[in-house]
Structure 1
Amino acid sequence: MHILFVCNGNVCRSVIAERLTRSIAVEYRLAGITAESAGTRALVGFPVEPRAAEAITGLGGDPGDFRARKLKPEHIDRADLVLTMTENIRDEVAELTAARSRTFTLLEAYRIARVTGARTVAELHRCRDNLSRVGRENIADPVGLSARAYCEVGDKIADALVPLLVALAPAALPADHHNWGRQPVVVRQAPSPKRLSPLVTAQHNGWYA
């Protein structure tokens, strides 16, 4: 399963999500899950914003060897799942190609999977209009804010992303890995005076609030 993350500049939120996905997939052997990112108004060629890089490192990811790129239809076409940081970006992506059935905000996809038990992209789409929403499902851009704000955005992305990846992992696994996932997935954050969030734990067959 190839996941495309999309934000505006492609130097903060979508990069955090991309690099966390790669780290989680490797560390917990989520076979078949890959990730990339792009921006609708990308700062093309820029590296990860320094405070976003700190957030990625604090969450166990690698921010290195990255350059921002502008979202193109071919990025969407090769993605099995497109996860955006805001509803406006989701709607913009859906207009570029016929990809509405596989395009969600990250928080939207997390909510649908948690509430309905959806375990495939097709199930996420079938359930999306059957659920009422409370508030907007956006992750705000931290550009220009404090280091703590970047850490909070990183935590918010991780809190939704970890259980969502675990839920979708069976659909991405080869048939001979059908018994994977009986052990809990635990993502431990590196100690830091800026880090306020507790240990993030997700069971393969369960969710945390």
Structure 2
Amino acid sequence: MSSQRFAILAVCTANICRSPIMEALLRAELDDEQFEVASAGTQGWDRQPMDGMAAMELMRLGYSNTMFRSHAIDTYLVDSADLILTATRSHRSAVLEITPAALRRTFTLLEFAALCEIVDGDAPRALVADASRQRSKAPADIDIGDPYRRSPEVHRRTADQIDAAVRTISERLNALVAVS
């Protein structure tokens, strides 16, 4: 990840269901001249394709990630990200075990989406800083459940939940770089 653009890291367990959907949707929604997006797994299966059900849901939403290969999370990815979005609080904890100093820029996806609607900031980094200061205002239910090996309905709910959160976050971040 380069230092010029605002770098976002999406994290889940194996990096084959939730975080690849987050990555693909964030990439599609955000201004690629201003933002870069990667994803990783806390128990990463290295170089694996996206889960088939997750890939089908991404296609249903109008996107593809056919070239995707999973990655295990590492210190470099965490340290170079300006914003880390995890599927669950346990993933957030796993990120902080790697780099405790990442706390101020690590949120669950649902937590950050909720905070985007109530915090201030005139640039992406300022928005993340204010979200960190006001983290206590986020809702209690901020985890996205793991759809792996579950029914198509669970995969659909998960993808729709990620899509809604990504749209909220992307609209806010794109508006901030449009004016700066």
TM-score (norm 1): 0.76
1:3 aligns with 2:32: no
Number of equivalent positions = 170
1:40 aligns with 2:42: yes
**What is the SS of the residue equivalent to 1:65?**
coil
- TM-aligned CA deviation for residue 86 of structure 1: 0.3
- TM-aligned CA deviation for residue 19 of structure 1: 0.5
Q: Could you list the per-position Cα deviations for residues 176-195 of structure 1 after superposition, in whole angstroms to 9, with x for gaps in the alignment?
A: x429xxxxxxxxxxxxxxxx
Equivalence for 1:166: 171
Task: State, as a whole percentage, how many aligned pairs show the same letter.
Answer: 32
Gaps of 5+ in 2: 1-5
Task: State whether residues 31 and 169 of structure 1, in contact with CA within 8 Å, keep that contact through their aligned partners in structure 2.
Answer: no
Q: Could you list the per-position Cα deviations for residues 32-64 of structure 1 after superposition, in whole angstroms to 9, with x for gaps in the alignment?
A: 122110001112121000110011111122211
Task: State whether residues 23 and 62 of structure 1, in contact with CA within 8 Å, keep that contact through their aligned partners in structure 2.
Answer: no
**What is the SS of the residue equivalent to 1:99?**
helix
Equivalence for 2:108: 105
Distance in 1, matches of 2:168 and 2:110, equals 11
1:141 aligns with 2:141: no
The aligned amino acid for 1:114 is E
Question: If each structure's helix is expressed as a fraction of its own residues, which one has the higher value?
Answer: 2
Equivalence for 1:178: 179
- 1:124 corresponds to which of 112, 127, 131: 131
Task: State whether residues 110 and 160 of structure 1, in contact with CA within 8 Å, keep that contact through their aligned partners in structure 2.
Answer: yes
Task: State whether residues 83 and 105 of structure 1, in contact with CA within 8 Å, keep that contact through their aligned partners in structure 2.
Answer: yes
Equivalence for 2:118: 115
- TM-aligned CA deviation for residue 132 of structure 1: 6.1
Alignment of 1:6-21 (within 5 A): 6-21=11-26
Distance in 2, matches of 1:108 and 1:157, equals 12
- TM-aligned CA deviation for residue 170 of structure 1: 3.8
Distance in 2, matches of 1:94 and 1:43, equals 20
**What is the SS of the residue equivalent to 1:37?**
strand
- TM-aligned CA deviation for residue 118 of structure 1: 5.3
Equivalence for 2:63: 61
Gaps of 5+ in 1: 180-209
Equivalence for 2:3: none
Task: State whether residues 57 and 155 of structure 2, in contact with CA within 8 Å, keep that contact through their aligned partners in structure 1.
Answer: yes
**What is the SS of the residue equivalent to 2:134?**
helix
Q: RMSD of the TM alignment (CA)?
A: 1.8
Distance in 2, matches of 1:101 and 1:124, equals 8
TM-score (norm 2): 0.87
Distance in 1, matches of 2:56 and 2:27, equals 16
The aligned amino acid for 1:53 is A
